[in-house]
Amino acid sequence: MKEYGHENLSELSVEMMHTDFHITVIKSLVIERLQGKETTSDSEFEEEKLKLLQEYGLSCLDHTTTYRHESSIPHVQPQGL
């Protein structure tokens, strides 16, 4: 995430980080956890995603959570929200 933030610093927004986090990070972590299963339905994917988030004390990953994360990156001034 920090790398993505630094690469897109000039046009960075909470919405961009939120989208990237869902598409890149969460999706890859869930896929990694589901490896070994022959087929996975959308509901199984969503169920596993919720379990992953709950391990970090989250029920969802919303724009506010993304904003707090983005604000913690040095030299990044979040836009939006």
The answer to the question of residue 54 being in a domain is yes
Geometric angle at alpha carbon 26, from 62 and 13, rounded to 5°: 45
The answer to the question of residue 76 being in a domain is no
Instruction: Identify the residue with better confidence: 1 or 11.
Output: 11
How many CB atoms lie under 10 A from the CB of residue 12? 20
14-70: pLDDT as tens digits: 777 778 787 888 899 999 999 978 778 889 999 999 999 999 888 888 877 777 766
Q: Does the pTM of the predicted model rise above 0.85?
A: no
Residue 26 has which token pair? 């969460």
The answer to the question of residue 17 being in a domain is yes
Measure the CA–CA gap between 41 and 55, rounded to whole angstroms. 21
For 50, the domain range is 2-71
Structural domain count of the chain: 1
